[in-house]
Structure 1
């Protein structure tokens, strides 16, 4: 990953390559809604933020409205006061972010919603480690579902993810070839867990941070 400081946003956006996905980390305030997302996308589109119109997909995934650059794909996620935005060309990225916090019922949730093998792997871990690994699996699954343009109603047990040696692997995806997918853990630190997914070949991930407007 290549860190990109906030002042270089316009330059980085201008040079977005087809073999890259840019991931921007920014502060999130519920009161601002999607305004920061529109401002970021406007830089990539080369237009004013008020000209960025978003449409809702069948399952709620935001997309650029008709008339805007159809090659630009994006997705975003927020948790607490943090947000991530993934942007790429000729790709539909999915990204998910969660704040790390105690999950005393992680194993029960995994047994209810995850695949049997995922729940078994979680059960084999020391209890103190289960919350973080549960969130790693959860964010990975969410990222894949977002890239698919689907929601949780698709079924978290219809895809299988493994987490080992600092890497994520999509092992099974109902109705699709899991081997055609890329799944990446994003190293953010500071109690945050995030994953990025897309269908297609490998791409370079450029991770940057945008300064707060406050």
Structure 2
């Protein structure tokens, strides 16, 4: 569904809205902040940044959680409602050759994840690596700790069509407290949205600039 800001639909409490749009350095974060303003409405405070750069609203407006990501010419904006400080994160990664994918997994992923990747045919390994990477990034961005928290501390299992949380260490845990949804972005990108809380309906829109 292609929409403009005038078409932003109501956001139900059991929904997460994900907007895909084009990314350019010239526009920067303007598409994200424009969408955010449409959801927040009048009177919203300025966006503030956490210690590791996570954007959020302070105070009562913190019940509106949001996050954004871009890779290449693709960008995503995710938004949902929950308790004050609602945690939501999104990540998108362009599919491009990554000859060091298994080496990176060995250094930064959980051992079981690395073993699973190593067992795959090389033709399937890149997309599996990116499915894990986007899920991890989405959770870490939602929590606000960023990559410094440790990719190995949020471990997943890959099913045919889903990424399943298995073991989350530290303040992010437990894994059962999180919802993860792998987003269908076509052949050229992989993406995931993550949130802390109960199951949500994911609605995907296209923002026409």
Please say whether Structure 1 and Structure 2 have the same fold, judged by a TM-score greater than 0.5.
yes
Name the TM-score, length of structure 2 as normaliser: 0.92
Does 1:108 pair with 2:103? yes
Please give the secondary structure, in 1, of the residue aligned with 2:135. Answer: helix
**Residues paired across the two proteins, number:** 204
Does 1:206 pair with 2:203? yes
Contact 2:88 2:195 in 1 (8 A): yes
Residue of structure 2 equivalent to 1:59: 52
Please give the secondary structure, in 1, of the residue aligned with 2:203. Answer: strand
Please give the secondary structure, in 1, of the residue aligned with 2:56. Answer: strand
Find the aligned partners of 1:190 and 1:126 in 2 and give their Cα distance: 18
Does 1:31 pair with 2:23? no
C-alpha deviation, 1:67, in angstroms: 6.8
CA 1:179–1:67: 2 relative to 1, 3 Å: closer
Runs (4 or more) in structure 1 with deviation over 3 Å come to: 9-13
Find the aligned partners of 2:13 and 2:127 in 1 and give their Cα distance: 33
Residue of structure 1 equivalent to 2:167: 172
Find the aligned partners of 2:177 and 2:59 in 1 and give their Cα distance: 30
Name the TM-score, length of structure 1 as normaliser: 0.90
CA 1:192–1:143: 2 relative to 1, 3 Å: same
Contact 1:41 1:52 in 2 (8 A): no
Find the aligned partners of 1:125 and 1:70 in 2 and give their Cα distance: 42
Does 1:192 pair with 2:192? no
| Superposition pairs of residues 145-164 of structure 1, within 5 angstroms | 145-164=140-159
Structure 1, unaligned stretches of length 5 or more?
Answer: none
Does 1:140 pair with 2:135? yes
Candidates 127, 144, 158, aligned match of 2:122: 127
Residue of structure 2 equivalent to 1:75: 67
74-83 vs 53-62, which moves further: 53-62
CA RMSD of aligned residues (A): 1.7
C-alpha deviation, 1:191, in angstroms: 0.8
Contact 1:83 1:97 in 2 (8 A): yes
Structure 2, unaligned stretches of length 5 or more?
Answer: none
